[in-house]
Amino acid sequence: MTEHYIPLRVNRDFGDIVTTYFDFFKQNIKKFTNVFLSYNGIFLIGLLIVSYLLVSGFMGVIAYENSYTYGVAREPMDEKYFMLVGLGGILFLVIFIMVAVLNYGLASSYMIQYETNKGRGFTKKQVWNYVKGQFGNVVLFIILAIPIFLAYLIISVIFAFIPLVGIFVNYTAQFFMSAWLGVSFFDMLQNKKGVTDAFGEGWNLVTKNFWRSIGVNFVLGLLIGILTIITFIVPGVIVGVYTFHVVENEVAYSTSIVATIVYTMGTCLFLVILVYGQCLSQFVNGILYYALHEKTYNIHTRGKIEQIGSTEQ
């Protein structure tokens, strides 16, 4: 049971959305982290394997490059190191896409269950079952989002050659894309809509509140980015200290089991934090969705007025 219920269906201005996000985050971080770990277990193992492949491959390449001695010919590099890096990169791309699909759904479903149950009494199984029931739409949404994202990349490249104006346009387009896709996805799950209808509703809500949508994604995206970087400090310091030890003591890191474990765990933790940060960004658009939807349709406000009217009668 949460400390107090934070109503999400409220027409909030820019400042209130930012404040509500952090209130919601502080109240729900423990429960949502439990949901995240429960349903990402197999992917976390996959990220650990990916980290091992990447670390082993890069360590082999670096060790080979550092073995150069002037005037002494070297044997060709073992191709297995390139194979490890390539395999690790492909697996990471596949796992990252799968994790993106899952956690976009989990974060949205968690907020929907929170709002539906007034902040209490819902379980992680309910969160999972809700998103599982719309998994087909979730996958289709991601597939249709890919060409949209590619079109955005083309526009970004074109405007990148325009000084100042290009930078402004690129950042505006970036945060508009984040708002549009996030709000559309949330609308699809919340109202169990078709994918194209959800894209249309998301476009309608975000374009009518253009600067509020962009501003919220910019400010909270920046703050989440800073929070993520701060979280990187602990594994970064551990890996940095160990690397200093390796360099100072001339440890043969390419054959050291300890070095492999340290760098693998550090890389894996980095990737997990990156994935978790993605969930936090969808919370932003969940709160934005409820604020924009209430401003447009006044469902919560009308419900309260009707409730007062029925009480007076």
Note whether 126 and 140 are within 8 A (CB).
no
Q: Is 108 exposed, middle or buried (0-12, 13-18, 19+ CB in 10 A)?
A: buried
Q: Is 203 helix (H, G, I), strand (E, B) or coil?
A: helix
pTM, to two decimals: 0.85
Instruction: Give the pair of three-digit tokens for residue 252.
Output: 């043969």
Tell me the per-residue pLDDT of 102-161, one tens digit each, with 9 for 90 and over. Answer: 888 999 999 999 999 988 889 999 999 999 999 899 989 988 998 999 999 998 889 888
Handedness of CA 194, 195, 196, 199 (dihedral sign): positive
Instruction: Tell me which of 242 and 152 has the higher pLDDT.
Output: 152
- 286/34 Cα distance (integer angstroms): 19
Tell me the per-residue pLDDT of 17-59, one tens digit each, with 9 for 90 and over. Answer: 999 999 999 999 999 999 998 888 888 888 889 888 888 888 8
User: What are the structural domain ranges in the chain?
Assistant: 28-65+77-304
Q: How many CB atoms sit inside 10 A of residue 33's CB?
A: 12
Q: What is the pLDDT of residue 27?
A: 92
Cα angle, residue 277 at apex, residues 23 and 43 outer, rounded to 5°: 130
- Contacts (Cβ under 8 Å, ≥6 apart) of 218: 171, 175
